[in-house]
Amino acid sequence: MAVTLDTLQTEQKNTKTVNIDAVDSLRICQIINEEDATVAKAVQKCLPQVAAVIDAIVPRLLMGGRVVYTGAGTSGRLGILDASEIPPTFSAPPEQFVGLIAGGDHAIRNAVEGAEDSEELGQTDLEGLSPPLNKDDVLIGIASSGRTPYVLGGLKHAQAVGAVTVGLACVSPSALEECCDIVIECVTGPEVVTGSTRLKAGTATKMILNMISTGSQILIGKTFGNLMVDLKMSNEKLRDRARRVVRSIVPSTAALDVNNEEVLDDILAKCDGQVKLGILIATLGCSPEEGRKKLEASAGSLKKAMEVR
């Protein structure tokens, strides 16, 4: 598919913002806000495709596979941001969600000119993972323009090794259609500043990546209802949240009284800070070893583990 920059929706001139340099700061903010308000509706149109991505990811995560984001510039940074937030939020292993950016880690804070123009580099970076990208993984190529060579090169390599391939663009049609099992084309339209896809396109990208990662973690049992039960108690805010989560889930008829601060802290200490395990022990009165076995038998689902007597 021949895709030229001048035809992309993200590169068109926004007729609503042509005089943005002639208004005061409040009106600039209002204009940007008005344009941002259209993003959620654009994302809404893509929900079936986003759900299909989540459904493709879940069985692979359960088998030990990975989700790898790849992109250039803002797209790459947003992938890295999403991947970096999964371990502290859900106690996921750091290698489960991986973010790659054209130009390497230096490009997270600095522009690396020309890096996005190499299909070969997109393949090389995937081969450099440990282990290299393989059939158990899902590759999500992020390219607002839908044509970034670095991303296309990575997706073609992913196809060759049998990985699930997903393309995320903010235009339609896109070149991603030729090398992806699932394509999300979230058309956000002309930007406030022509071609500045860190704006509406970037916002849509973050919303969609949030859905993909959060949705997949929910489906593999990382929450209990809407509560984080696999968070890491790495600072005082999270330690306080962990205590509140335990108290809100453990029933009043539980084996142990978690309203007693000393009892609760002792439980969490015995569980090495594992909130999900602490809830199970407090509820059932079992040992940490027994609790771990119940969770393992329930594929990590706290709800299922609590039903096992």
Q: Tell me whether residue 10 is exposed, middle or buried, using C-beta atoms within 10 angstroms of its C-beta: 0 to 12, 13 to 18, 19 or more.
A: buried
Tell me whether residue 116 is one of the annotated catalytic residues. Answer: yes
Catalytic annotation, pick one of 11, 34, 35, 116? 116
Tell me whether residue 85 is one of the annotated catalytic residues. Answer: yes
Catalytic annotation, pick one of 34, 35, 85, 296? 85
Parallel, antiparallel or unpaired: strands 138-142 and 164-169: parallel
Tell me how far apart the alpha carbons of residues 180 and 178 are, in angstroms, rounded to a whole number: 6
Closest listed residue to residue 95, CA positions, set 61, 71, 127: 61
Parallel, antiparallel or unpaired: strands 227-228 and 223-224: antiparallel
Strand partners, 215: none
Cα distances (angstroms) measured from residue 244 to each of 22, 78, 182, 234, 259: 51, 31, 39, 15, 10
Supply φ then ψ for residue 141, to 5 degrees: -90, 120
Tell me how far apart the alpha carbons of residues 176 and 166 are, in angstroms, rounded to a whole number: 8
Is the Cβ–Cβ distance between 68 and 127 less than 8 Å? no
Catalytic residues: 85, 116
